[in-house]
Amino acid sequence: MVDKIDLKHMRIFLQLVRAGNVSKVAEETGVSQQAISGYLKRLRAAFPHELFLRQSSGLLPTDFALGLATKFEKILLDVDDLFDDRTFDAATSTATFRLIANEYAQLAIIPRLSNLMAQAAPGVKLLVTDFNPRTHEASLASGDADLLIGFAEFVSAGVVKTRLKKEQYSWVVGKNSQISSHIHTVSDLQNHAHVGFANGAAHLADNVDAFLQAHSVSRQVMAVLPCYTSLIPFLEFNDVVALVPSALARSSYLNILSLDAEMDTFDVTVGWHRRSSGSSARKWLTNLVQRAADCSTA
């Protein structure tokens, strides 16, 4: 039976391990549930150990199945590399690139990336999904995403990545703020109300707390917002201090405060799964993302 296990069986198996549900894999692949069940039946017959345990929530892979998945992934990676040296023709391509991006990237990099893409590859489409610290590596490994952009501290160690740029936080107030003339030092920050942001993949709350503690500054946070995009309308009615990545402060035309100390820089990174390391299309997209990130620094 082992000689009847082909590459399609391996790909279906990996999707079953990831999704744990026959109907979901059928939907993702466009193959009937009956056909997926047939693949699963042949896989079970080919190996001496149980692959999945049936539960009310779906299929739970056994330890043997997880080990097998690692081996299958390596085989598929090697096979894909054999056919992945074709030159990507941006001008004629109609590909859809699936990109994972945190809020920072969605605001500071993706708009420029889309503009550059429209000029270089008018037939190419871009599908952007939110960065999730828990699932981004699996999405890249399964092929559900081609590339990610996020803060290095949140990117899993298993993702191949390279730094796009160094970024820094800026203390800001609204463009019509009345308190900006009273804030010249870090110590002055504690004399005014602040707005904070919820912890997540686009906000390095620990870095902020460490900076304030190092300067013995406590702040009065009057509101915690879920994301950076809600800041501008909030500042229209509230004269408070906020802390946002510098690229967002500049693009939003906020009033950036000049203080006597600055926060440490942090890395914005682009990442991909090792299966696409040799892909000319992935390299092209990565280079375009780098150009877009460089523009956001200017």
Judged against a pLDDT cut of 70, whether residue 144 lies above it is answered with yes
Q: What is the mean pLDDT of residues 286-292?
A: 96
pLDDT bin (cut points 50, 70, 90) of residue 292 is very high
CB 256 within 8 A of CB 130: no
Set out the domains of the chain in order of their start, with CATH numbers: 2-82 (1.10.10.10), 96-164+267-297 (3.40.190.10), 169-264 (3.40.190.10)
Neighbours of 286 (CB within 10 A): 19
Query: What are the φ/ψ torsions at residue 100 (nearest 5 degrees)?
Result: -95, 130
Tell me the C-alpha to C-alpha distance, in Å, between residue 208 and each of 39, 117, 164, 295. 51, 35, 22, 26
Note the pLDDT of residue 205. 86
Q: What is the mean pLDDT of residues 212-233?
A: 94
Whole-model pTM?
0.71
CB 69 within 8 A of CB 17: yes
Question: Chain-wide mean pLDDT for the chain?
Answer: 89
Note the pLDDT of residue 218. 92
Rounded to the nearest 10°, the torsion over CA 288, 289, 290, 292 is 90
Instruction: List the structure tokens of 238.
Output: 């509230």
**What is the C-alpha to C-alpha distance for residues 10 and 173, in angstroms, rounded to an integer?**
54
Q: What is the mean pLDDT of residues 156-175?
A: 93
Instruction: List the structure tokens of 75.
Output: 């085989």
Give 297's contacts (C-beta < 8 A, 6+ positions apart): 165, 247
